[in-house]
Structure 1
Amino acid sequence: MTRSLRFRLAAGALISIAVALSLVWYVLGHLFEDYLADQYANEMTAVSDALGARLAIEDGNLRLASEPSDPRFQIPAGGRYWQITAEGGETPLRSRSLWDQELSRALLLPDMYCGFHQAEGPDGGVILVSIKDMVLTEGDHQTTFTVYTAFSKDDMEAALASYHWPLMLMLIVTGALLLLASFLQGLIGLKPLSHLRREIADIRAGRSSQMGASGPAEVTPLVNEINMLLSERETAVERARARASDLAHGLKTPLTVLSHLAEALPADRREMALQQIELVRQRADRQLQAARLGVEQMATTSLIGISGKLVSVLSPVTRSRGIEWTLDIDPDITIQADPADVAEAMGNILDNAVRFAERRIEISALQDREMTVLRIGDDGPGAAPDRYASMLKRGVSGGEEGMGAGLGLAISRDIATAYGGDLQLDRSRLGGLEVALCLPNKALANLQPNSFG
């Protein structure tokens, strides 16, 4: 089932309108059908009564003083018919419109239509018949007879059609107007939600810290809950920062003491101990940075600014080795991500590039509507493609034995994944390794804190 409120409201309105209009169609159709059947029944009753009033008995037989004046009775298959059948079996009296057709109960069709009997008419069509038994008394003589009055079924169906088509058109127009009204109602009713989305986007981008209190009464409780959540989140961030600072201060002194103690070790062990102490310090720094990921406010980060700062920091290291830098990034490329997270991810990749590059390092970036791809390539020895997957795992280094702890690329990938992106390895056009850091232009709405290392 779709998760769109607008679609649900539209579907509910469509079903409700369709059911309501179908009910209106059914009720009005049957009311008019009953009304029309009553009109025809009254007309046939009036004809039967008029014929009965004009009958007389002459020489023991029924005689009609005068026929109804309606000209349709005089025209063959004229659409109106009557017949008088005496009980004695004498030749029935009938209208000229019946021509040589004779009505009887035995010739009636089994099915009735709107309360009328059906029979075949003089033109082969169906006629609707009303039957009335009557008794005529004249002196001591009493005669029982049956009066058949009929009309064409096509006449009634044409009258029903002339009513149903305008009714259908009216209901279609009414349904369209109601659907339009429901669409406008949904558009106007859900507009506050769009306003809330913009306010939340401003909070994530760091342009505001709280949501405004203005809005419909139904939305105000939600806004209050979100503001309370933001306040609790800010409190949690401050506590996390305080704990991170305490942890960093607590680790600094023991690591410094261990470094001094390691100086007293034999040369072969001293170097290994210092490397391990430095490894612990680097891992602690990365864990402290990772603890902030997804908790700090989102900000608009310029890639050219972050890249320029990192290159200026690493240039003194590469200048002595004669390594050249190529930076090809559009100044307008920005992403919604914490600058420290982007710097951490890029810094780990650049550390590897500086370690293995021989003469050149290239940095470039491309951006489409959804994703920004930052590519960092070098002209170093690179790695075999079958090692790319393992190089993104923790503890696996892409270089020679002992060169690096194999954490940089794994941490960078974790950062990219936390923002809804990815990190990919390939062979660069310079011949070495190329790392593609893919980050969405807008951070995930459900970004959660992650722990790396």
Structure 2
Amino acid sequence: MIQSLRVRVVIGAFAAIVFILLVLGYGLSRVFSGYVAERYRVEMAVIVDQLAAGLELRNEKVVLEKTPSDPRFTLPGSGRYWQVAPESGEVLRSRSLWDVDLPADALLPADYGFLAAEGPDGADLLVYQRAISLDGPNGSRRFTLSAAFDRFEFDDAVAQFHSAMALMLTLSATVLVAAAIFQVGVGLAPLVRLQQRVGLVRSGQANSVDDVGVSELRPLVSELNLLLQERETAVERARARASDLAHGLKTPLTVLLHVADHLPPTERELARQQVDLIRQRADRQLQSARLGVEQMSLTELGSLVGKLVMVLRPITEPRGIEWQIRVPAGLAVDMDAADFAEALGNVLDNATRFARGEIRITAAAADKAAVIIVEDDGPGASEADLAILPSRGVHLGEDGSGSGLGLSITADILSAYGGSLELGRAKLGGLSVKLSVPLRG
């Protein structure tokens, strides 16, 4: 099924135009053919009237005082013919018929009220006939008067009209279809403007949808603005509830940490790890609650990457680790800055832990997404480990440090924004992390 409204409307208009022009063409063809047939019928009727006016009976002999004056009647096969056929006796006919007789009562009916006959050289004729009676000394006698013309003349006139009409209708169809396409473009332009203004709201550049100047769309614009207001209210409620939950968890977790101080060393360390894990997971759930309601903002990658590297550089400088950053200026994504900072920060944190001498950050636009690749020259990971690293609680640190939540949190954040996370082997020898994020608007 066709999904495009523009294509649907154009196809519908094209079908309507073709149907109307076909009906119009058929009607014009019938009208013109009838007109031509009527002209020939009038011409043949005049010839028959002339024959009837000049026909007499003298001493029981048929005499035609005056024949039709058209010179074509004197030329064999000229295209104009007449004939006078009595019930009995000699048949009178025009020289153009040569030696061909037109049957008086055995002709087949043809189109438009004419009869069909065969003329000189096998030409098809259309015949107009009329029966009359003349009174004589021995009573009345019956005659059949016939006037005929070549069918080719009629068919050729109709064919020429059809050719001219086909050209005219084709040009008309072309103009009408072009006008329909133009009209569809003009008619759907307000929808395009509405899409652009909704995009501005989605990207955080506007708080409401402006009027597109079309009365039919104003109710839709009004409903969209009401929906945005309700959404903003829902966002505020979600933030308030998240803040309440965060404050509500702090006190119990602090109490648990104080209680853990009175436990033996082994149990104390285990309890502290579990409390930290609860805090991390609670923070993640609060972050997930915020995702999806703060996506109407833009984040400029170059600036944010620079800030993250500035924070991490003091950690890597003592180890002699170099940073290679290649991020195009002006590259921005549809993502909240705090969410993107958390997602990329988890990846950079892993890179600083395992890198030996170099960390490389590259970014570029590909299709409709920004691709950020973080590589290090650390030990990397095997193919089997690459498949499970994004899972929660999985980490490859030999000292057992880390919660194993960093990459899983990053994957969750990217997924919430329509992005993705891919792991692989870096050209530097270590781990390569590829983050794909939707581009601006």
TM-score of the aligned structures, taking structure 1 as reference length? 0.92
- Structure 1 CA distance, aligned partners of 2:405 and 2:170? 67
Provide Cα deviations, 1:231-268, integer angstroms capped at 9, x if missing partner: 00110111111111111111111112212222222222
Answering whether residue 237 of structure 2 is matched by residue 239 of structure 1, we say yes
Residue of structure 2 in register with 1:197 after alignment = 195
| CA positional deviation for 1:149 | 1.3
Q: What's 1:103 paired with?
A: 102
Report Cα offsets for 1:174-198 as digits up to 9, x if no partner: 2222223222222222121122122
Q: Which runs of 5 or more structure 1 residues have no equivalent in the other structure? A: 444-453
Amino acid at match of 2:119: G
1:417 and 1:125, CA in 2 relative to 1: closer, same or farther beyond 3 A? farther
Q: Which residue of 2 aligns with 1:87?
A: 87
Instruction: Report whether the alignment pairs 1:127 with 2:125.
Output: yes
> For the structure 1 residues 406 and 253, does the alpha-carbon distance in structure 2 shift closer, same or farther, using more than 3 Å as the test?
same
Cα distance in 2 for residues equivalent to 1:297 and 1:393: 24
Shift of 1:398: 4.1
SS at match of 1:123: helix
Q: How far, CA to CA, are the matches of 2:303 and 2:270 in structure 1?
A: 37
- Greater alpha carbon shift after TM alignment, 217-226 vs 300-309: 300-309
Say if 1:204 and 1:297, in contact at 8 Å, map to a contact too. yes
- C-alpha contact 2:295 2:334 (8 A) present in aligned 1: no
Distance 2:397 2:41 in 1: 103
1:395 paired with 2:393, answer yes
2:10 is aligned to 10
Separation in structure 2 between the aligned mates of residue 123 and residue 9 of structure 1, nearest angstrom: 56
Residue 364 and residue 62 in structure 1: after superposition, are their counterparts in 2 closer, same or farther (change >3 A)?
Answer: same
Q: Partners of 1:431 and 1:214 in 2: how far apart? A: 55
- Structure 1 position 24, deviation (Å): 0.9
Check conservation: 2:194, 2:212, Cα contact below 8 A.
Answer: no
Shift of 1:206: 1.7
Structure 2 CA distance for aligned equivalents of residues 105 and 294 of structure 1: 94
Contact 2:301 2:331 in 1 (8 A): yes
- Cross-structure match for 1:290: 288
Change in 2 beyond 3 A, CA 1:426/1:197? same
Aligned to 1:254: 252
Q: Tell me the secondary structure at the aligned position of residue 122 of structure 2.
A: coil
Query: Which stretch shifts more, 280-289 or 98-107?
Result: 98-107
**Structure 2 CA distance for aligned equivalents of residues 367 and 129 of structure 1:** 81
CA contact (8 A) 2:190 2:212 kept: no
Matches of 1:401 and 1:2, distance apart in 2:
59
Distance 2:274 2:234 in 1: 33
* CA shift digits 1:392-437 (9 cap, x unpaired): 2333334448443332222222222232221111101111110000
2:54 corresponds in structure 1 to 54
The superposition leaves residues 93-152 of structure 1 with CA deviations (integer Å, 9 ceiling, x where unpaired) of 1111111111115764x4623322212220222111122222111344321111121101
2:330 is equivalent to residue 332 of structure 1? yes
Could you tell me whether the CA contact under 8 Å between 2:193 and 2:212 is conserved in 1?
no
Could you say which residue in structure 1 is the equivalent of 2:270? 272
2:239 partner amino acid? R
Residue in 2 that maps onto 1:451: none
Contact 1:107/1:119 (<8 A) preserved: no
- Selected match of 1:303 from 297, 301, 304: 301
Structure-to-structure mapping, 1:17-32, within 5 angstroms: 17-32=17-32
- Of 225, 228, 240, the residue aligned with 2:226 is 228
The sequence identity of aligned pairs, in percent, is 47
Which amino acid counterpart does residue 101 of structure 1 have in structure 2? V
Compute the RMSD of aligned alpha carbons.
1.9
Q: Which residue of 1 aligns with 2:112?
A: 114
How far did 1:18 drift? 1.1
**In the alignment, which residue of structure 1 is the partner of 2:77?**
77
> 1:384 is matched with which residue?
382
For structure 2, the 5+ residue unaligned runs are none
Specify which of 422, 429, 432 is matched with residue 431 of structure 1.
Answer: 429
What is the Cα deviation at residue 214 of structure 1? 5.2
Query: What SS is found at the alignment partner of 1:206?
Result: coil
Alignment partner, residue 450 of structure 1: none
The one-letter amino acid paired with 2:393 is G
Tell me the equivalent position of 2:183. 185
AA partner of residue 49 (structure 2): D
1:359 shift after superposition? 2.6
Once the two structures are superposed, what CA deviation does each residue of 1:295-340 show, in whole Å capped at 9, x if it has no partner?
A: 1152221112111222222223333433332222122222222111
Aligned in 2, Cα 1:233/1:347: closer, same or farther, shift over 3 Å?
A: same
CA distance in 1, matches of 2:367, 2:388: 31
2:36 is matched with which residue?
A: 36
Pair 250,126 (structure 1): closer, same or farther in 2 beyond 3 Å:
same
Note closer, same or farther for the CA distance 1:217–1:20 as it changes in structure 2 (3 Å cut): same
Decide whether the 8 Å contact of 1:199 with 1:211 is kept in 2: yes
SS at match of 1:84: strand
Instruction: State the partner residue of 1:446.
Output: none
Supply the AA of the counterpart residue of 2:428: L
